[in-house]
Amino acid sequence: MTRLELDTTIGPPRRLTTSEEGTIMDTQEIRSSFAIHANRRRIKEWILTKAILGATLVALGVLLYLVGSVLWDGLPYLRSEFFVNFPSRFPDKAGFKSAIYGSMWLGALTLVFAVLLGVSAAVYLQELAGKGRIQSWIELSIATLAGVPSIIYGMLGLGIFVRFFGMGRSVIAGALTLSLLVMPVIIIAAREALKSVPDSIRMGAFALGASRWQTVRDHVLPAATPGIATGVILAMARAMGEAAPLIMLGALTYVAFVPESIFDSFTAMPIQIYNWASRPQAKFHDLAAAGIIVLLGFLVICNSAAIILRSKWGAKKP
Amino acid sequence: MSSSQRWAGVSAWQQWRERTVLRALFFCALISVLTTLGIIYILVNESVHFFAEVPVLDFVFGTEWAPLFEPRHFGVLPLVCGTLLISLGALVFALPIGLGIAVYTAEYAQGWWQKVLKPILEILAGIPSVVYGYFAITKITPFLQTLYPETEVFNAASASLVIAIMVLPTIASICDDSIRAIPKTLRDGAYALGARKSEVIFQIVLPSALSGILASFILAFSRAIGETMAVTLAAGATPQITANPFVGVQAMTSYIAQVSMGDVAHGTIEYQSIFAVGLMLFLMTLAMNLLSQFIVKRFARKYE
């Protein structure tokens, strides 16, 4: 193993000149650790750099393969019948209609509940609350809730909404469960947005005689709206993809109709995808891929909206 | 109303409005406490009925889980073993790759590439878990079967692999933040002593960012434990104690999902058993999250 070979593989040789050796390293000991191990250190650097790059490329490759294979399998099934037919035992007739409608019902209701609860709680904690024992309890429970697995929210929904309030396996029970699930996400995002509103705006409003609520309603909230909206959109994207809590509520049933009121039973996109993916036949797997394309398309729209909002908002900020 | 009154006084209506709004907002904030208490109440309440019939020690230390068929056994260890096998397997892949991505995005990627790379990787976190479940059974399991023909249709390894992909962005983004928080002076000091870039990163920056890195690992572990749909689809429903990742296992979350998908009547012991398993799951994830918060608080160094 000669120095020349290594230098050609790793890069231009950067050997210390004699004069540098004389000035930088005085003792024999230090010179040995720098000069003798120079090659080993260079190889090590090369390996580590490539490994780090490799890790990133692996993740990107997996993402590309995932999206590509889903498109490849699902696109042939993405015909107009797919959107107008109900689920069926026969893969050629099966469609996604009840799942799409169910998800739209769920999404709309969840949006209303989650925004009301989440933004109100964030406004209270960030703008109006003092520092007391109850406030610290609220903060602690938000931090706890943010880490609770989604299936546990499903058990909560089963116990409270389905059984205790007697809502049954209805759209409203599902939407309330999903609202509680995304509430911590919205609270945390909305508080960040409120925090970034400069204090000068509040001081200006107070100086003109506005009360606390007037200040928040007329000045702080409008200034924080783009940030809050970004958080809400991302939280909704999460809610639309959740299957586990809905399965806990008992939503995994054959639903061949579109919900017409909030008390109707329902199915949703991720549940229907689960249903198809769990069957052994390959044709149903391709149907699942088609459903995944619809679901991912929806999530892409959500995320693009969030990115656009974020970039516009960021540009306006002084 | 004269102008002097408008400045000095606040009308009764306005006072009432301020108080009402404050109370309404306070109530909304209180919902999070009520949700937490509700979760604990539901889990504990049903578990108490369960533990009236099954001794706690039999549950925690029992090695056989057969809740649906006679003779019934309620030993939770096979489920815990399934959960741990899957999530530890996921971490084996996710930790080095996630940390590598964080180092790359924080230290190596530059310019526009760095700006697009993070959002692209965060797409991985936004993909619903049922999609990963589909990916595991249609793509990863067949791939594993060509590598190792004895792989069963449902196996822990494919679940581990997709969960590793799912938690990658969690690890990468938290590690990235804590690497960026290390001040430049620390790096410059190391460069001045003649260290190479990789040496600065691995001997100076990463040890300094250790608290954030550990916290991200624990959070990823907690997410892996609570993951449901991918595990249910990919790992199967055979509760057993094994260290072989190529056979089917049942995780705690998949048991809960399996029972709730069947028609199990309210009030039966099978119904109550999912709440006992859920309580255990809740306590495990809670412990992990508290631990990661504790690590961040206790070991985080403030650089000014």
- Give yes or no for residue A228 having a pLDDT over 60: yes
Task: Find the CB nearest A277 among B24, B233, B281.
Answer: B233
Highest-confidence range of A73-77, A108-112, B262-266, by mean pLDDT? A108-112
The ipTM value here is 0.88
**Consecutive H or E run containing B253:** helix B252-261
Chain A interface, best mutation among B25, B41, B162, B292, by max A CB count within 10 A:
B25
Let me know if residue B67 belongs to a domain.
no
CA distance A126 to A195: 7
Angle subtended at Cα B186 by Cα B184 and Cα B190, rounded to the nearest 5 degrees: 115
Report whether B173 contacts A59 (CB < 8 A).
Answer: no
Same domain? For B96 and B45 the reply is no
CA distance A313 to A304: 14
Same domain? For B171 and B33 the reply is no
Q: How many CB atoms lie within 10 A of CB B196?
A: 18
Same domain? For B80 and B49 the reply is no
Residue B80: per-residue pLDDT: 92
Q: What is the mean pLDDT of residues B87-105?
A: 93
Residue A9: per-residue pLDDT: 41
If pLDDT is split at 50, 70 and 90, which confidence band does B171 have? Answer: very high
Q: Determine whether the interchain pair A138/B22 forms a contact, defined as Cβ–Cβ distance below 8 Å.
A: no
SS3 label, residue B70: coil
A239 at interface of B, judged by CB pairs closer than 8 A: no
If pLDDT is split at 50, 70 and 90, which confidence band does A210 have? Answer: confident
- Give yes or no for residue A5 having a pLDDT over 50: no
Give A14-60 pLDDT, tens digit per residue: 554 444 444 444 445 455 455 567 788 888 889 999 999 999 999 99
For residue A234, give both structure tokens: 């991302």
Angle subtended at Cα A113 by Cα A111 and Cα A116, rounded to the nearest 5 degrees: 100
Q: What count of residues does chain B have? A: 304
What residues of B are in contact with residue A49 (Cβ under 8 Å)?
A: 108, 197-198
Cα B211 → chain centroid:
18
Same domain? For B48 and B96 the reply is no
Angle subtended at Cα A149 by Cα A146 and Cα A154, rounded to the nearest 5 degrees: 110
Let me know if residue B190 belongs to a domain.
yes
- Of residues B7 and A157, the one with the higher pLDDT is A157
What residues of B are in contact with residue A142 (Cβ under 8 Å)?
A: 32
Same domain? For B98 and B232 the reply is yes
Q: Determine whether the interchain pair A124/B131 forms a contact, defined as Cβ–Cβ distance below 8 Å.
A: no
Give the mean pLDDT of chain A: 83
Same domain? For B83 and B209 the reply is yes
**How many distinct structural domains can be found in chain B?**
2
Same domain? For B180 and B143 the reply is yes
Size of interface A-B (CB pairs under 8 A): 246
Q: Determine whether the interchain pair B194/A34 forms a contact, defined as Cβ–Cβ distance below 8 Å.
A: yes
Range 254-313 of A in CB contact (< 8 A) with B: 270, 273-274, 277-278, 285, 288-289, 292, 295-296, 299, 303, 307
Angle subtended at Cα B133 by Cα B127 and Cα B134, rounded to the nearest 5 degrees: 90
- Give yes or no for residue A3 having a pLDDT over 50: no
Let me know if residue B65 belongs to a domain.
no
B237: domain CATH number is: 1.10.3720.10
Give B30-84 pLDDT, tens digit per residue: 999 999 999 999 999 989 999 988 888 888 888 888 887 777 888 889 999 999 9
Same domain? For B134 and B262 the reply is yes
Give the mean pLDDT of chain B: 87
Same domain? For B131 and B102 the reply is yes
For residue B168, give both structure tokens: 């990658």
Give A265-305 pLDDT, tens digit per residue: 888 899 989 988 888 888 888 889 999 999 999 888 888 88
Same domain? For B30 and B129 the reply is no
**Consecutive H or E run containing B238:** none
If pLDDT is split at 50, 70 and 90, which confidence band does A1 have? Answer: very low
Using CA atoms, how far residue B29 sits from A183, B22, B191, B280, in Å, is 10, 11, 50, 27
Report whether B184 contacts B193 (CB < 8 A).
Answer: no
Same domain? For B125 and B13 the reply is no
Let me know if residue B59 belongs to a domain.
no
For residue A180, give both structure tokens: 């509680």
Same domain? For B87 and B200 the reply is yes
What share of chain B in percent tops pLDDT 70? 95
Q: How does strand B73-74 pair with strand B65-66?
A: antiparallel
Give A81-137 pLDDT, tens digit per residue: 788 778 777 777 778 888 888 899 999 999 999 999 999 999 999 988 878 888 889
If you compute the radius of gyration of chain B from its CA atoms, what whole number of angstroms results?
25
Q: Which domain holds residue B45?
A: 3-53
Find tokens 């290390």 and name the residue.
B182
Let me know if residue B182 belongs to a domain.
yes
User: What is the residue type of A45?
Assistant: E
DSSP-assigned letters across all residues of chain A: --HHHHHHHHSS--PPPHHHHHHH--SHHHHHHHHTTHHHHHHHHHHHHHHHHHHHHHHHHHHHHHHHHHHHHHGGG-SHHHHHSPP-SSTTT---HHHHHHHHHHHHHHHHHHHHHHHHHHHIIIII--SSHHHHHHHHHHHHHHTS-HHHHHHHHIIIIIIIS---S-HHHHHHHHHHHHHHHHHHHHHHHHHTS-HHHHHHHHHTT--HHHHIIIIIHHHHHHHHHHHHHHHHHHHHH--HHHHHTT--S---S---STTS----HHHHHHHHHTSS-HHHHHHHHHHHHHHHHHHHHHHHHHHHHHHHHHHH--
Let me know if residue B242 belongs to a domain.
yes
